[in-house]
Every structure is written in structure tokens, then in C-alpha cells.
Chains A and B, each alone.
Chain A
Amino acid sequence: AQSVTQLGSHVSVSEGALVLLRCNYSSSVPPYLFWYVQYPNQGLQLLLKYTSAATLVKGINGFEAEFKKSETSFHLTKPSAHMSDAAEYFCADTPIGNTPLVFGKGTRLSVIA
């Protein structure tokens, strides 16, 4: 069965430090991959999505993710963490023509002043 694995349920970084949130997918066909963010007591909103146009995808709020087929990974990065980045982040996958999305279990990001 298709699955998405997010390594680390909780990641803590200092303000200004690099953010790296890891995601591995299992699709055997070219995937469409997504990162969503959820702020406290809110729904999920799209950060960025990969649809095979380019392997490095830029999203909102300075985040980007790189698709690496050889590693079946789609890790999310941000060069410099801000306090407002504290939230839960979800990686999601769907093969072509399939719905709904398969979500990872999420990674909670804490940013320390």
C-alpha cells in the first residue's frame, strides 16, 4: 500500500537556524507530492507542490522542497527559521489519476528564541 513517512514527529530549531523536515514516499509511479502546514487550531494550507515540472519547488513563506527520485524523498527546507514557522507540517502523495491524498503522520516544528 502506498505510504508517506515523515521522519521525526517533533523537530526543534533555534530562530535563524536551518529548517529540515524529512519526507519519504513509496509511489512506484511518478508521484505528485505536497507539503501542507497547519497552525494551531486551524485547517491545513498548502505550502508547495511537486508536479514533475522541476525537482526544486519553491513555496510560500520561504520554504522549498527538493524531489529526489533515487532516494524517494521530498524533504522540506527553509534557510532561516522564524518564530512564526512553529506549526505542524504534513507531507502528502498521490499518483497520477488517483485521489485522495495519502498523508504522513506530521512533524511538529518548534522554534526556540
Chain B
Amino acid sequence: DVKVTQSSRYLVKRTGEKVFLECVQDMDHENMFWYRQDPGLGLRLIYFSYDVKMKEKGDIPEGYSVSREKKERFSLILESASTNQTSMYLCASSGPLGFAGDEQYFGPGTRLTVT
């Protein structure tokens, strides 16, 4: 059974703080993804990674960075948190790049509030 875990379910941070959101998957998946989810906007891709130390920008990378030092772990970093980054953050993973029909497996999400 695929498991994607996220370090926190709920997080409250202050404006200007550096914030780390951690994601770990246990299925040896090559691909990992970070999304943010906001009412009425659906899921928006922030960054993704198809291999260790590799990263690609998604649709809304501004204000975020990522780190993937190990295959199973993908971190999202908010360098200086702002109130407009208050959101639900979802991590996902999937199998080999180019494998047709590969679904993504999602973690439970982290609800981040920046005050």
C-alpha cells in the first residue's frame, strides 16, 4: 500500500518566517510533486521533481523553493512566509516518467496559516 506522509497536518507561522514542509513516500517513486489548494482555484502545481537533486518549476513557483536530497523525501521551502501563502499544501508521488497511465498518490495535506 503506497504511503505518502507529510510532516504536519496543521501549521501556524508568522510573516517572514522560513517554513519547511516535508514529504516522504515509501514506494520508491521517481516523481514527486508539491501543490497548493485554494477554494475555487483547484490544485496548482508549485514544483515537481523527477529524480534526486532534480527539480522543475510548476505553474506558481514564486516565493517557494524545493529540495530533494534523497529519493523518498521532497521538501517545500517558503523562504519568507507571507499571508498570501496561507493555503492547503498537498504532496504527491508517482512512478517512472513516461509510464503511461501512472496515477499520483497524495499525502493528507498540510494546512498552513501565516499570520
- Counting chain B residues whose Cβ lies within 8 A of the other chain, the interface size class is 20 to 34
Indicate which residue in A36, A90, A105 contacts B40 across the interface (CB closer than 8 Å).
A105
A43 touches B108 (CB 8 A): yes
Q: Give bound CA distance, A49 to B105, whole Å.
A: 13
Interchain Cβ contacts within 8 Å, total number: 58
Q: Are B43 and A103 in contact (CB under 8 A)?
A: yes
Whether A51 pairs with B40 at a CB distance below 8 angstroms is no
Question: In whole angstroms, what is the CA distance A101 to B42 when docked?
Answer: 13
CB of A88 to closest CB in B, whole Å? 9
Fill in one digit per residue for A24-65: 1 if any B CB lies within 8 Å of its CB, else 0.
000000001010100001111110010100000000000000
Is B45 located at the chain interface by the 8 A CB criterion? yes
Contacts beyond the supplied A43-B4, A43-B108, A99-B31: 8 A-B pairs with Cβ under 8 Å: A32-B101, A43-B92, A51-B100, A90-B43, A100-B31, A100-B58, A100-B94, A105-B41
